[in-house]
Amino acid sequence: MERLLSWDSLLERIEACRQCPLADGATRKVPGQGDRDARLMLIGEGPGAEEDRQGLAFVGAAGQLLTRMLEAIGLRRGDVFIANAVKCRPPQNRVPAPEEMAACLPFLREQAGLIRPQVILLLGATALAAVLGPGLRITRARGQWTQRKGVYILPTYHPAALLRDPSKKRDAWEDLKMVRDKLNELPSAKPEPGAGGSGPGASQAARA
């Protein structure tokens, strides 16, 4: 079913979405950006002020740190796909409400189904709740792999949390090395859709 989806249709529906109140206060929708055939997908919380202004994910201070984090494991931003649990900026950058995340979750599932990543890196507690469930705590779940139908999922701290508390950077660096090592372990070419591996499992990986 997921291969019947298209990026054009998805982006049109994200732009038109009014399923929750966040859309009313958004300057621009922020669907995410990057390599649509990426082996690594990153999922964060939601757009901030600069992201809302530009319509791009992770372009503020946290985004600049994320760029350096990726470079530290030999990746460019263009090598990965970066998205958020919600596509519209919450007021005052508050944490998205459960119903707001639920409204956006189908879009995240579709993105994962189209990209078919081998690895998903969850950036922070909100992404963790959206993808793996609300009962998990980032301090306990970070650094622990979950595998869902061929897709490896790893939670780590959000870059904004690292800016607030630099003592977390050591743990985040260990998590990044795990991502690097996992990508090195996996085949560099992704299986074709329906051929097993990360094909049909990617859309499942983004289900709460």
Distance CA 112, CA 95 (A): 22
Lowest mean pLDDT among 100-114, 143-157, 159-173, 183-197: 183-197
Tokens 């959000």, located at residue: 158
Confidence of residue 149 (pLDDT cuts 50, 70, 90): confident
Q: How far apart are CA 96 and CA 102, in angstroms?
A: 10
pLDDT of residue 194: 55
Write down the domain spans for the chain: 7-205
Answer for the pair 156, 123: CB distance below 8 angstroms, yes or no.
Answer: yes
Fold of the CATH domain 7-205? Uracil-DNA Glycosylase, subunit E (3.40.470)
Mean pLDDT to the nearest integer, 53-79? 96
Tell me the C-alpha distance between 197 and 193, whole Å. Answer: 9
Contact call for residues 29 and 84 (beta carbons, < 8 A):
no
Q: Residue 198's pLDDT is what? A: 38
Nearest to 206 by CA among 155, 153, 157: 153
DSSP string, 66-130: HHHHHHHTT--GGGSEEEES-SSPPGGGPPPPHHHHHHHHHHHHHHHHHH--SEEEEESHHHHHH
- Checking if the pLDDT of 146 tops 80, the result is yes
Q: What is the pTM of this model?
A: 0.89
pLDDT digit string (tens) for 78-105? 999 999 999 999 999 999 999 999 999 9
User: For residue 120, how many other CB atoms are within 10 A of its CB?
Assistant: 27
